[in-house]
Amino acid sequence: MAAGPARRARRQRKADPMPRELPLRYGMNPHQKPARVYAAEGDLPLEAVSGSPGFINLLDALHAWALVKELKAALGLPAAASFKHVSPAGAAVAVPLSDAEKKAAFVDDMADLSPLAVAYARARGADRMSSFGDLAAFSDPLDAPAAELLAREVSDGCIAPGYAPEALEVLRQKRGGKYLALKIDPAFEPPALETRQVYGLWLEQARNAVIPGPDICKNIVTRCQDLPPFAVRDLVVATVALKYTMSNSVAFAKHGQAIGIGAGQQSRVHCTRLAGSKADTWWLRQHPRILEAEFRPGTSRADMNNAIDQYLLEHPTPFEKRVYKKAFVKAPRPLSARDRRAWLGQLDGVSLSSDAFFPFRDSIDRAARSGVRYVLQPGGSERDDVVIRACDEHGMVMALSGLRLFHH
């Protein structure tokens, strides 16, 4: 009696457009085999249209997809994210790039950037060092310009709700045909309850289904009350990114993109310092000396990034100097402390979001050094009044969202 239903189930699986499970190359590490992804009920909402995924690929892909889907829902703009090890290296919406931003993102030679390609150029441009070998996510079906940009970068894979035929053709030529491209059903919604197994025990909670939108910025508590639309947009970008960043986390944003994400720190001020240092690097990459520097022919994009990163070190060792100088036809003159202060002093209008309250004013003081003028945080600390005074002293606008967004 059991054989009949089993045969019918097998025939049904063959007829289904998507399978119920997908084998993975291995688990978190190569020695963790076997590994798979499966749907407890119904079919999988995703399929690999190119390549074969691993366990971490899927962790990154599913979190990254949720992020860009929510960014598109919150702001109505095409969105992209660059994920590494279950946190975003960058996230962005399609806001036109300046000439300096194009050059810093290595896309100044691409004439026809689609909005989706612009969003990814911004997302990857947030922290190009951390985006090396990323999992890219796109809110809309991948078009040819975005695929051409992906083809130029060191990337492990991507996820999107669809692929234009010409885009898929480009991606299938990457990495000898092994480049991972995942297609996800945009209509799929996870169950209201989510579970996780840790050390043999099951944990269950309501899924965090809140989509942070512009309304979270309404409760302004500082003397300065002027929160322009661009700042609201940037605060939403930063906040949605934090929702899928390992806590504690703080994000800086400008021009519709994260420019520095401080992820996974036990101390909030260390999150702010990390995010601030990345934001500073994002801005320093647009210094004229770097934009005008000429790389040696044949230098890879990854080596260009490494050279710029080492050039921007405040105190490089002789070994580091020797390495970065090899990448340039003529190495740019080092930035002095005065040069740095003058250039960083021009960074302004930056937005900052935090996944939980600030227990002290130290994060606000550090943020001010990186041009932060707009702040969003949940509030609820016993020292909220101290943090508000700090914002007032720096001329910042701060709103309290009342929404904590821890993610682990």
Which stretches within 16-54 are classed as H helix? Answer: none
- Same domain for 119 and 60: yes
Please say if the pLDDT value at position 8 is more than 60: no
| Active site residues per annotation | 84-85, 248, 408
How far apart CA 375 and CA 156 sit, in angstroms, is: 34
Determine the 3-state secondary structure of 99 from DSSP. Answer: helix
For the chain, what is the domain count?
3
pLDDT band (50, 70, 90) for residue 146: very high
Residue 2 falls inside a structural domain? no
204-209: long-range contacts, CB 8 A cutoff, minimum separation 24: 208/243, 208/405, 208/407
pLDDT band (50, 70, 90) for residue 16: very low
How far apart CA 172 and CA 180 sit, in angstroms, is: 8
- Tokens 């016993």 appear where? 382
How far apart CA 54 and CA 24 sit, in angstroms, is: 5
pLDDT at 9: 38
Q: Is the dihedral of CA 355, 359, 364, 366 positive or negative?
A: negative
- Same domain for 250 and 164: no
How far apart CA 344 and CA 370 sit, in angstroms, is: 7
- Same domain for 61 and 125: yes
Q: Mean pLDDT of all residues in the chain?
A: 94
The per-residue pLDDT for range 185-218, each reduced to its tens digit, is: 999 999 999 999 999 999 999 999 999 999 999 9
Token pair for 110: 């691409």
- Same domain for 154 and 85: yes
- Same domain for 224 and 86: no
pLDDT band (50, 70, 90) for residue 402: very high
Residue 238 CB contacts under 8 Å (≥ 6 apart), including other chains? 251, 252, 253, 258, 351, 352, 353, 376
Q: Which of 122, 168, 108, 173 is nearest to 141 (CA)?
A: 168
Residue 386 falls inside a structural domain? yes
Residue 13 falls inside a structural domain? no
- Same domain for 37 and 142: yes
Q: Is residue 216 left, alpha or beta, with left meaning phi > 0 and alpha meaning psi from -120 to 50?
A: alpha
Please say if the pLDDT value at position 4 is more than 60: no
Q: Would you mind telling me the total number of residues written for the chain in this entry? A: 408
pLDDT at 86: 95
Token pair for 130: 């951390």
**Is residue 233 classed exposed, middle or buried when 0-12, 13-18 and 19+ CB atoms within 10 A define those classes?**
buried
How far apart CA 7 and CA 316 sit, in angstroms, is: 66
Please say if the pLDDT value at position 13 is more than 80: no
Residue 406 falls inside a structural domain? no
User: Cβ distance 347 to 339 under 8 Å?
Assistant: no
User: Cβ distance 258 to 68 under 8 Å?
Assistant: no
pLDDT at 17: 52
How far apart CA 113 and CA 135 sit, in angstroms, is: 20
Q: Is the dihedral of CA 302, 314, 337, 364 positive or negative?
A: positive
CA dihedral 252, 258, 261, 267 (to 10 degrees): 30
- Same domain for 144 and 25: yes
How far apart CA 282 and CA 100 sit, in angstroms, is: 11
Residue 256 falls inside a structural domain? yes
CATH number assigned to the domain comprising residue 79:
3.40.140.20
pLDDT band (50, 70, 90) for residue 1: very low
Residue 9 falls inside a structural domain? no
How far apart CA 404 and CA 379 sit, in angstroms, is: 9
- Same domain for 30 and 112: yes
- Tokens 């990254």 appear where? 64
What radius of gyration, in Å, describes the C-alpha atoms of the chain? 22
pLDDT band (50, 70, 90) for residue 267: very high
Q: Around 102, how many Cα atoms within 13 Å sit in the side-chain half-sphere?
A: 12
The per-residue pLDDT for range 338-382, each reduced to its tens digit, is: 999 999 999 999 999 999 999 999 999 999 999 999 999 999 999
Q: Give this prediction's pTM.
A: 0.93
The per-residue pLDDT for range 184-193, each reduced to its tens digit, is: 999 999 999 9
How far apart CA 289 and CA 287 sit, in angstroms, is: 5
pLDDT at 19: 73
pLDDT at 41: 86
- Same domain for 143 and 271: no
248: preceding bond cis by omega (within 30 degrees)? yes
Determine the 3-state secondary structure of 121 from DSSP. Answer: helix
How far apart CA 354 and CA 368 sit, in angstroms, is: 15
- Same domain for 225 and 162: no
- Same domain for 358 and 264: yes
- Same domain for 38 and 54: yes
How far apart CA 400 and CA 218 sit, in angstroms, is: 8
Residue 390 CB contacts under 8 Å (≥ 6 apart), including other chains? 361, 364, 365
Please say if the pLDDT value at position 36 is more than 60: yes
How far apart CA 155 and CA 61 sit, in angstroms, is: 12
Instruction: Look up the domain containing 256 and give its range.
Output: 206-283+347-400
Please say if the pLDDT value at position 69 is more than 50: yes
Residue 379 falls inside a structural domain? yes
CB neighbourhood size of 56 (10 A): 19
Report, as an integer, the average pLDDT of 160-182: 96
Residue 196 falls inside a structural domain? no
